[in-house]
Chains A and B, each alone.
Chain A
Amino acid sequence: MSKKLGFLGFGLIFGFALSRVGASDFNLIYFMFTGVDLTLVGVIGTAIVIGALGMFVLRLRGAKTAGGQPITVKRKDLKRWSLLGALIFGLGWGLAGACPGTVLAQIGEGKWLGGFTVLGMIVGTYVYAHLKSANPDI
């Protein structure tokens, strides 16, 4: 199976699930951060537990892909500015009521204001590319 087609399919499942569980709903994010409704914490928490169990099963089976290649899990190490970046990301998460995945689900659902969040994300990534040219450590 081609990797691109495969990811189209995996994305389809991801987007369907995000939409079904309400993760693309502005209120669910806003109410999570204001402590009113912790549904999304439950979604993310369950996903972490199930993801960990699935990785455990893969390791039991020798940590091989379907094609027999060894699986290599990459750790995202902390860099000097990582936690500041995380804080900036969090501020955006709370304001936009979406994260990089769920904003795509907003667009799929026709919530057009999410389109401006996406444009902002592209520009924010572009700003990073400029910062990276000036300071390779960032």
Chain B
Amino acid sequence: MTFIEVVFVERWPFWAGGVVIGLLVPLLYYAFNTALGVSTGYGNLARILLPSRRLTWLQERFKEAWGWRVYFIGGIILGSFLSARLTGAPLWTGEMGVLTETVTWSGPVLAIYFFAGGVLLGLGARIAGGCTSGHSIHGMANGHLSSVLVTLFFLVGGIISANVLRLLVLGGGSG
């Protein structure tokens, strides 16, 4: 395997992804004195897409609707797009792993399912004050106890819902 194939075509070993993602924490501070975090950017998107005239939090927290977080989000989409193109993955797919392999739900039901998951993610992240990147990676890398506790509850929630999904929808097997 050539170097090009290892970096741009093959799936990375877990530690390589961890190293690159982990380095973002100090690099963002070094370049812009900014904490790594993704979920707050959805506030920018809400501010751009939905009426917010009477919502003080959206108005003040996201004064600049098209702030750097929107560009960060755009960059993530662009980076994963390039990654998929280099591996020759299909441009467009309704695939979602074992879920779409197992269930016979129609498109709208799948759409509602993922929309509902998204509502929980968006609401939960704002109440918790961050997500996997802001709390689990940035917060824990900086030794913040609050982020350790929040991450623990992230995991508890995920273990509950994934196992409910396993037992009720995916037939109870472990895959």
Contact = CB atoms under 8 A, between A and B. Distances in A.
Contact of B130 (A16, A76, A93): A76
Contacts of B26: 51, 54-55, 57-58
Interface of B: 11-36, 38-39, 41-43, 45-46, 49-50, 52, 54-58, 67-69, 71-84, 89-100, 110-144, 146-147, 149-163, 165-166, 174-175
A87 B158 CA distance: 8
Contacts, number: 513
By size class, the interface of chain A is 35 or more
Contacts of B143: 52
Given A36-B175, A97-B96, A86 B115 contact: no
A32 B53 CA distance: 41
B94 A94 contact: no
A126 B80 contact: no
A107 B23 CA distance: 24
B119 A127 contact: yes
A89 to B, nearest CB: 3
A61 to B, nearest CB: 9
B100 to A, nearest CB: 8
Contacts of A113: 94, 96, 100, 110-111, 114
A128 B120 CA distance: 11
A93 B114 CA distance: 10
A85 B125 contact: yes
B99 A97 contact: yes
| Residues of A contacting B: mostly | helix
B146 A77 contact: yes
Contacts of B160: 90-91, 94
Interface in A79-138: 79, 81-114, 116-130, 132-133, 138
Contacts of B140: 48, 51-52
B62 to A, nearest CB: 9
B46 A96 contact: no
B81 to A, nearest CB: 4
A90 B29 CA distance: 27
